[in-house]
């Protein structure tokens, strides 16, 4: 079929030429099987342009203005508008000439153009091949470019390097020094673009070069970068943080600690908090990148806790021994007491009694409690921080638990170790920052010791939750799982301060958490009731359930019902009774009084089910026309229309909605029609949902897959191991 | 090659399987299967509701649940390793569901709704026991309550 091949290779497109009013745009058939050069030749011919080799085609979409090459030409779509432009080679040549020999303004013009086209890979390759990059580098290095020209040169450099074709190792210290000098230059007003680019260049050198990072670290100081955080330009702030992160990431442990100390100092912290977090209005698109950089910074800072977390306490080690002693001192030595008492008590052998009160697992030698990693000695550090800084809370917790009935106590030592472990897990301490991460906790920028501070709030929380749950020692795991929920949910709200966090966890009581869990389970159940396998199962068992409802309805009819008679002339109430024969073939009916339940034999009039044509309800009933306005509830009326047209219908008014529903359903069932009443829907739902619940008993707590599982190819053989019995 | 399991396993179907392959065992979601042997992505076994019909089904439509084995060899019976009360409630609920439908057809309206209420309580109590978020005290209290409900229904 030639037309198909034609359609797929020949596109109808338009080609225009910018800044050339005399060149009327051409509508051409673009043949994908023809080389680009011959297509360009034809275009040039039509416009009377000499030297077709000097021209190339470009896309003209707002997000894509790249040159069209043999590689990307398949991106052209039917109806595209393309541009005929100067070819990359010619453009490079023109630009290089202007940079080398042009006037200042020509140079700036050329660089401006260069900075935009450099993002096109085709152009960049051509430019780099013609030694353009080296020229840009040396002119930056020697300070030949100034002002606007410098800005475009730096942007160009960033764009060219961004293609990843050239290694960052080509840069010399001289270039780095120059770039650093632009960053450090705080005196005169530089174009923000210059600083943006320079920060980004330095970040890339630190991250991507194989040895120049130490030079950058030496040249640039963290404080000078910090000052850029106060810049009102969002990109500068972001790039400055990114550069700090890069230096942090590449530094060794000692250097890291120094950097962290600078960053955690109140002054710097406040700058970060005020400039980047408080003023971080989420309207801007760059917020995600900034959030990522703050996340990286926080991950790196928290990462400094890792060595402590992974260090076991050694029983020979003096430092940890001292810390345990101090913990004991804060708990049991009130200010009036002197050391003498501690000594005497020690002599009386109450040391292990004290350790028991402190809730250590190992009362003889509590240092063993810090043998597990994580959390190692980090737990001890945090406990001591708590004891020192929140002495009142600390003694309250220790004393309260040590005088409780044994199985109700919440041992401080043991629970603290587990809590620290939990916090390390929640904050992913020790994990390298991920490429996508954006979650940071603003409150961590508000304190010198954020992790320790978090622990102090959470250990109080743990004790409160323990009490709320009226937990015993064996419930520890459950308490911890509730505490985990409390902490993660409170942190997820991104509280801006520790006070806000404290407030939030206070509100998230045990009751609140169980309520939320319940809610989520209900939501999940609702979701599951719409899950595909459940819907399939429902459809499958629905016929059985409908059969049950039908049996029930026919049962109602066989049991019979007393209806009130409505007559045109108002008289004393009269009643009649209708009953279905047990073989479901005949309706028996006759008059009765208010209380009686006549038997089948007593009802003299009969109507064969086979004679019924259909059932009509409400206003459609014949008797409703006669009795208009006399019946208070016309919606409870129904009539059996008979097949023989000359015989009048059998007209009913049900005493209530349920009987109305049961009878109309029953008659429909007899006529093999669908049951349609509200009661039918309710009964179906009640029976079906209980049935499903009972069928799923063994699957309780197991997740139903969102998507149908992939059925594997059939087994290779059917030679079963076991004989089928 | 079909490789026998050292000891049988129990799985619960998490999806419906039509059984439209040679020797296939159709499964409905929630159905429990005892697994005897496996071959690649397939298991062979039987549904605990009909132990004589054996067939194969994809591993991915079931989730393996911990179980205890009574007996050995082909006559071994695997049972879910749930808490005895949890199992008892499941067993009772299955039985009641049958009787409950009968109450419906017989128009025993009052008993029908009373039983439904207790069944729902048992269902949610059983779920609470299974999620394991209750403290020991709460668990003990719930157990007593559920046992009382069971006794009520069995009367």
ipTM of the complex: 0.92
pLDDT tens digits, one per residue of A98-111: 888 888 888 888 88
| Predicted pLDDT of residue A186 | 67
Distance, CA of B20 to CA of B25 (rounded, Å): 8
A286 — pLDDT class (breaks 50, 70, 90) = low
B133 vs A519, more confident: A519
Mean pLDDT of chain A: 84
What sign does the CA torsion over A423, A426, A427, A432 have?
positive
Contact A696, B30 (CB under 8 A): yes
Distance, CA of A650 to CA of A577 (rounded, Å): 12
How near does any CA of chain B get to the CA of A675, in Å?
16
A111-120, A423-432, A571-580, range with the lowest pLDDT: A571-580
Tokens 């005493």, located at residue: A655
| Predicted pLDDT of residue A1 | 38
| Predicted pLDDT of residue B133 | 74
B14 vs A3, more confident: B14
A281-285, A604-608, B119-123, range with the lowest pLDDT: A281-285
Q: Which chain A residue's Cα is nearest to B98?
A: A691
Residue A643 is given by DSSP the state: S
| Predicted pLDDT of residue A456 | 93
pLDDT at residue B93 tops 60:
yes
Nearest to B134 by CA among A62, A66, A162, A478: A478
Angle at the Cα of A421 from the Cα atoms of A416 and A427, rounded to 5 degrees: 120
| Predicted pLDDT of residue A669 | 94
Instruction: Give A692's contacts in chain B (Cβ within 8 Å).
Output: 30
Look at B135 and A704 and tell me if their CB atoms are within 8 Å.
no
Tokens 């997740």, located at residue: A703
On the CB side of A666, how many CA atoms lie within 13 Å of its CA?
29
Residues 680-699 of A with CB under 8 A from B: 683, 686-687, 690-699
* Mean pLDDT (whole number) for A599-625: 86
CA-to-CA separations, B119 to A31, A631, B122, in angstroms, rounded: 73, 41, 5
Look at A534 and B29 and tell me if their CB atoms are within 8 Å.
yes
pLDDT at residue A348 tops 50:
no
* Mean pLDDT (whole number) for A185-204: 81
* Mean pLDDT (whole number) for A55-78: 86
- In chain A, % of residues over pLDDT 70: 92
pLDDT at residue A285 tops 70:
no
Residue A24 is given by DSSP the state: P
Residues 299-328 of A with CB under 8 A from B: none
- Cβ-nearest to B97 among A540, A690, A714: A690
B61 — pLDDT class (breaks 50, 70, 90) = very high
pLDDT at residue A340 tops 90:
no
How near does any CA of chain B get to the CA of A713, in Å?
8
B123 vs B131, more confident: B123
* Mean pLDDT (whole number) for B125-139: 81
- Cβ-nearest to B40 among A514, A540, A712: A712
Highest-confidence segment of A230-239, A292-301, A618-627? A292-301
Q: Is A527 an 8 Å CB contact of chain B?
A: no
| Predicted pLDDT of residue A148 | 86
Instruction: Give A540's contacts in chain B (Cβ within 8 Å).
Output: 28
How near does any CA of chain A get to the CA of B107, in Å?
7
| Predicted pLDDT of residue A582 | 92
B14 — pLDDT class (breaks 50, 70, 90) = very high
| Predicted pLDDT of residue A5 | 46
Q: Which chain B residue's Cα is nearest to A476?
A: B135
| Predicted pLDDT of residue B63 | 92
Contact A701, B130 (CB under 8 A): yes
Q: CB pairs under 8 A, 24+ apart, for A626-630? A: A626/A568, A627/A566, A627/A568, A630/A566, A630/A568, A630/A570
* Mean pLDDT (whole number) for A285-291: 72
How near does any CA of chain A get to the CA of B68, in Å?
15
Contact B87, B144 (CB under 8 A): no
A259 — pLDDT class (breaks 50, 70, 90) = confident
| Predicted pLDDT of residue A395 | 87
How near does any CA of chain B get to the CA of A370, in Å?
27
Look at A722 and B90 and tell me if their CB atoms are within 8 Å.
no
CA-to-CA separations, B120 to A617, A691, B125, B149, in angstroms, rounded: 36, 12, 8, 11
pLDDT at residue A544 tops 70:
yes
How near does any CA of chain B get to the CA of A513, in Å?
11
Paired tokens of A135: 């020229």
Q: Is A481 an 8 Å CB contact of chain B?
A: yes
What sign does the CA torsion over A88, A89, A92, A93 have?
negative
Distance, CA of A114 to CA of A123 (rounded, Å): 9
Look at A720 and B37 and tell me if their CB atoms are within 8 Å.
yes
CA-to-CA separations, A595 to A572, A577, A580, A637, A642, in angstroms, rounded: 15, 11, 19, 22, 29
Tokens 């009327």, located at residue: A24
A404 — pLDDT class (breaks 50, 70, 90) = low
Highest-confidence segment of A260-269, A296-305, A351-360? A296-305
pLDDT at residue A176 tops 70:
yes
A3-17, A527-541, B121-135, range with the lowest pLDDT: A3-17
Look at B4 and A474 and tell me if their CB atoms are within 8 Å.
no
Angle at the Cα of B23 from the Cα atoms of B20 and B28, rounded to 5 degrees: 55
Instruction: Give B31's contacts in chain A (Cβ within 8 Å).
Output: 695, 698
pLDDT at residue A706 tops 60:
yes
| Predicted pLDDT of residue A72 | 86
Q: Is A521 an 8 Å CB contact of chain B?
A: yes
| Predicted pLDDT of residue A336 | 47
- Cβ-nearest to B123 among A693, A698, A705: A693
- Cβ-nearest to A555 among B17, B74, B107: B107
| Predicted pLDDT of residue A4 | 44
Look at B40 and A720 and tell me if their CB atoms are within 8 Å.
no
Cα first-last separation, chain B? 52
Strand-pair partners of B12: B32, B63
Instruction: Please give the backbone phi and psi of residue A342, each rounded to the nearest 5 degrees, phi first.
Output: -55, -45
Please provide the DSSP assignment of A689-713 as one string: HHHHHHHTGGGTTPPPPSSPPPPPP
A656 vs A268, more confident: A656
| Residue of A699, A708, A717 for testing the chain B interface, max B β-carbons within 10 Å | A699
Is the preceding peptide bond at B38 cis, omega within 30 degrees of 0? no
| Predicted pLDDT of residue A405 | 62
On the CB side of A44, how many CA atoms lie within 13 Å of its CA?
18
> Residue B33: how many CB atoms within 10 A of its CB?
27
CA-to-CA separations, A507 to A398, A457, A489, A659, in angstroms, rounded: 24, 13, 11, 51
| Predicted pLDDT of residue A435 | 84
Please provide the DSSP assignment of A507-569 as one string: HS-HHHHHHHHHHHHHHHHHHHHTSHHHHHHHHHHHHHHHHHHHHHHHHHHHH-EEEEE--SS
B78 — pLDDT class (breaks 50, 70, 90) = confident
Paired tokens of B40: 């690649």
| CA dihedral of residues A59, A61, A63, A66 (deg, nearest 10) | 10
Whole-model pTM: value is 0.67
pLDDT at residue A490 tops 90:
yes
Look at B90 and A697 and tell me if their CB atoms are within 8 Å.
yes
| Predicted pLDDT of residue A667 | 93
Look at B127 and A521 and tell me if their CB atoms are within 8 Å.
yes
């Amino acid at each position: 079929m030639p037309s198909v091949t034609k359609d797929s290779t020949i596109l109808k497109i338009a080609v225009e030429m910018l800044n050339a009013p005399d060149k009327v745009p051409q509508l051409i058939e673009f043949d994908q099987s023809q080389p680009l050069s011959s297509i360009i030749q034809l275009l040039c011919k039509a416009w009377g342009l000499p030297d077709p080799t000097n021209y190339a085609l470009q896309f003209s979409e707002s997000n894509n203005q790249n040159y069209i090459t043999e590689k990307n030409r398949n991106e052209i779509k039917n109806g595209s508008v393309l541009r005929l432009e100067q070819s990359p080679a010619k453009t490079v040549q023109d630009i290089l000439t202007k940079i080398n020999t042009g006037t200042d303004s020509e140079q700036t013009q050329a660089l401006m153009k260069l900075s935009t086209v450099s993002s096109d890979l085709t152009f960049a390759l051509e430019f780099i091949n013609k030694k353009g990059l080296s020229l840009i580098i040396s002119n930056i290095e020697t300070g030949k470019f100034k002002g606007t020209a410098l800005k475009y040169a730096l942007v160009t450099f960033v764009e060219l390097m961004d293609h990843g074709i050239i290694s960052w190792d080509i840069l010399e210290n001289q270039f780095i020094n120059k770039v650093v000098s632009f960053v450090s230059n705080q005196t005169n007003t530089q174009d923000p673009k210059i600083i943006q680019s320079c920060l980004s260049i330095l970040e890339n050198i630190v991250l991507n070069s194989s040895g120049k990072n130490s030079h950058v670290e030496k040249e640039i100081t963290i404080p000078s970068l910090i000052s850029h955080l106060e810049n009102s330009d969002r990109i500068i702030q972001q790039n400055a943080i990114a550069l700090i992160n890069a230096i942090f990431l590449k530094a060794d442990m000692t250097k890291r600690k120094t950097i962290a100390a600078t960053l955690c100092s109140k002054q710097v912290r406040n700058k970060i908090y005020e400039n980047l977090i408080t003023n971080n209005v989420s309207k801007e698109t760059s917020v995600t990148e900034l959030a990522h950089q703050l996340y990286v910074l926080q991950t790196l800072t928290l990462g400094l806790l890792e060595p402590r977390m992974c260090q076991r306490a050694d029983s020979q080690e003096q430092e940890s021994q001292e810390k345990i002693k101090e913990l004991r001192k804060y708990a049991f030595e009130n200010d009036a007491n002197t050391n003498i008492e501690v000594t005497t008590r020690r002599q009386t052998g109450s040391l292990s009694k004290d350790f028991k009160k402190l809730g250590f697992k190992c009362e003889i030698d509590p240092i063993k409690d810090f043998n597990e990693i994580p959390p190692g000695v980090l737990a001890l550090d945090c406990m001591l921080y708590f004891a020192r800084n929140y002495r009142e809370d600390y003694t309250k917790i220790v004393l309260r638990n040590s005088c409780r009935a044994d199985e109700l106590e919440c041992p401080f030592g043991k629970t603290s170790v587990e809590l620290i472990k939990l916090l390390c897990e929640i904050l992913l301490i020790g994990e390298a920052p991920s490429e996508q991460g954006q979650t940071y906790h603003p409150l961590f920028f508000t304190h010198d010791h954020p992790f320790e501070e978090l622990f102090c709030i959470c250990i109080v929380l743990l004790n409160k939750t323990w009490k709320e749950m009226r937990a015993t020692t064996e419930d520890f795991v459950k308490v911890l799982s509730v505490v985990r929920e409390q902490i993660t949910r409170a942190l997820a709200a991104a509280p801006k301060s520790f006070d806000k966090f404290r407030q939030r966890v206070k509100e998230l009581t045990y009751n609140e958490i169980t309520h939320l869990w319940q809610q989520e389970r209900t939501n999940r159940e609702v979701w599951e009731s719409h899950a595909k396998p459940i819907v399939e199962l429902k459809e499958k068992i629905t016929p059985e359930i409908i059969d049950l409802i039908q049996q029930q309805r026919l049962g109602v009819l066989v049991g019979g019902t007393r209806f009130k008679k409505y007559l045109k002339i108002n008289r004393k109430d009269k009643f009649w009774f209708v009953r279905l024969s047990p073989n479901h073939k005949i309706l028996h009916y006759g008059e009765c009084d208010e209380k009686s339940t006549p038997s089948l034999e007593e009802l003299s009039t009969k109507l064969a089910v086979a004679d019924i044509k259909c059932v009509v309800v409400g206003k459609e009933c014949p008797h409703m026309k006669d009795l208009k306005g006399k019946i208070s509830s016309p919606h409870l009326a129904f009539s059996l229309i008979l097949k023989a047209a000359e015989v009048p219908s059998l007209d009913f008014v049900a005493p209530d909605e349920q009987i109305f529903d049961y009878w109309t359903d029953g008659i429909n069932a007899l006529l093999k029609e669908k049951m349609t009443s509200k009661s039918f829907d309710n009964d179906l739902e009640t029976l079906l949902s209980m049935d499903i619940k009972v069928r799923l008993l063994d699957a309780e707590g197991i997740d139903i897959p969102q998507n149908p599982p992939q059925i594997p190819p059939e087994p290779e053989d059917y030679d079963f191991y076991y004989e089928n019995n | 090659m079909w490789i026998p399991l050292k000891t049988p396993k129990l799985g619960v179907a998490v999806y419906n399987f039509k059984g439209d392959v040679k020797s296939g065992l159709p499964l409905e979601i929630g159905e429990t299967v005892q697994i005897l042997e496996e071959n690649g992505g397939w298991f062979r076994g039987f549904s605990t509701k009909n132990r004589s019909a054996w067939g194969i089904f994809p591993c991915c439509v079931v989730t393996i649940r911990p179980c205890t084995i009574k007996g050995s060899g082909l006559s071994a019976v695997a049972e879910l390793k749930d808490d005895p009360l949890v199992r008892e409630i499941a067993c009772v609920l299955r039985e009641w569901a049958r009787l409950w439908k009968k109450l419906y057809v017989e128009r025993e309206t009052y008993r029908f709704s009373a039983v439904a209420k207790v069944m729902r309580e048992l269902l949610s109590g059983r779920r609470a026991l299974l999620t394991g978020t209750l403290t020991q005290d709460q668990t003990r209290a719930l157990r007593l309550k559920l046992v009382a409900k069971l006794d009520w229904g069995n009367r």
